Amino acid sequence: MRLINARTLKTEEYYESQIPPYAILSHTWSGSEVSFQDFQDVELRTRKGGFRKIQRTCEQALEHGIKHVWLSESINSMFQWYQKAKICYAYLEDVEDDWIDRRTSEIGMSRWFTRGWTLQELIAPRVVQFYSRGWARIGEKHGLINKLEVTTRVEDMACCLLGLFGISMPLLYSEGHKAFYRLQEAIIAEYDDHSIFAWSMDQNRSYSNNGLPYPVHGGILAASPAGFKSSGNIKSVRAKHGDDEPVTVTAKGVRAGHGFWS
């Protein structure tokens, strides 16, 4: 794992058992970000607009007594890196400092709240602090949670749920609702839990993906995560006699044994 030393701004590599406490940055990308290759060139990185975010993240980490910062991106393992971070700084570049004195709900207008990785970057870390463009502190996630919006692109929802289930799968952009179907198929292959089929359609909700409605059908897999919003109390109960047949997904459909849900 590569980390930035917050004092020297040099990259350091650590193995799993040696990883020190670190802070992590969550932000939206602009046109002048610093790549790993750019960061190795001291003169080049300082000319990049995104370098100021790295500097300020390191300064903020040091203020909290944290000596290292993680900035890299690895889609299939990103959840665990956010989960292990001591603190996550969510930088809202499009939120001016004077917004903080207005209604908190206006913070939800930031594009950070509609990007694809918001869910895992919000849920995984124990502590998430939000900062405005000038690095004025807005608040922590537990105080702003009711003001947050979620991404509307269903393929982005599927991607950011990978870490929640410990699933790795190839990412195919612009595939719409098919990404969520593939995620469910991967979950079925990994976990023997029939409760994944305990979803329902919300007739009062307008499903949309870039302005297009989600498919409404009677298939066995949900078209979006919204189908599970009323399934939080579902528990899978194993039959007392005999083993349940494992669920298998084929081109012809889904094969499953009998189970009971309460």
Q: Do 179 and 115 belong together in one domain?
A: no
- Report the C-alpha gap between 61 and 89 in whole angstroms: 9
Instruction: Give kind and range of the element (H or E) at residue 119.
Output: helix 118-123
Claim to verify: residue 100 and residue 224 sit in the same structural domain: no
What's the gap between Cα 224 and its chain centre? 16
**pLDDT of res. 203:** 47
Note whether 219 and 180 are within 8 A (CB): no
Mean pLDDT, residues 154-161: 75
Taking the model in full, what pTM does it have? Answer: 0.70
pLDDT digits (tens, 9 = 90+) for 84-127: 999 999 999 988 887 655 556 667 778 887 776 677 888 889 99
Does residue 213 sit in the same domain as residue 97?
no
Which domain range does residue 168 map to? Answer: 154-261
Residues 159 and 199 in one domain: yes
Find the mean pLDDT for residues 27-56. 88
Counting the structural domains of the chain, the total is 2
Mean pLDDT for the chain? 80
pLDDT-derived band of residue 262, with 50, 70 and 90 as boundaries?
low
pLDDT of amino acid 4: 94
Q: Based on the domain organization, do 19 and 119 belong to the same domain?
A: yes
Domain termination site, one of 147, 163, 196: 147
Residues 6+ apart with CB under 8 A from 146: none
Q: Where among 130, 147, 164 does a domain terminate?
A: 147
What pLDDT does 207 receive? Answer: 47
pLDDT confidence band for 252 (50 / 70 / 90): confident
Averaged pLDDT, 23-43 = 87
Who has greater pLDDT, 219 or 215? 219
Confidence of residue 209 (pLDDT cuts 50, 70, 90): very low
Whether residues 138 and 182 share a domain: the answer is no
Q: What pLDDT, in 10s, does the model give residues 169-205?
A: 887 767 777 888 889 989 988 887 888 888 987 644 4
Residues 138, 158 share a domain? no
Q: How many helices (H) and strands (E) does the chain have?
A: 9, 13
The segment with the largest mean pLDDT, out of 60-64, 95-99, 251-255, is 60-64
On whether both 53 and 114 belong to a single domain, the answer is: yes
pLDDT at residue 229, as a whole number: 85
- Cβ proximity of 22 and 108 under 8 Å: no
**Residues 12 and 133 reside in one and the same domain:** yes
Amino acid at 230: S
Regarding whether 130 and 13 lie in a shared domain, the answer is: yes
Residue pair 260/217 in contact (Cβ under 8 Å)? The answer is no
Integer Cα distance of 22 and 6 in angstroms: 9
Same domain, 28 and 113: yes
Q: What is the helix, strand, coil percentage profile of the chain, to 5? A: 35, 15, 45
- Where does the pLDDT of residue 261 fall: very low under 50, low under 70, confident under 90, or very high at 90 and above? low
Q: Is the pLDDT of residue 148 over 70?
A: no
Domain end point (choices 147, 168, 184)? 147
Contact predicate 23/89, CB 8 Å: yes
- In terms of domains, do 142 and 172 share one? no
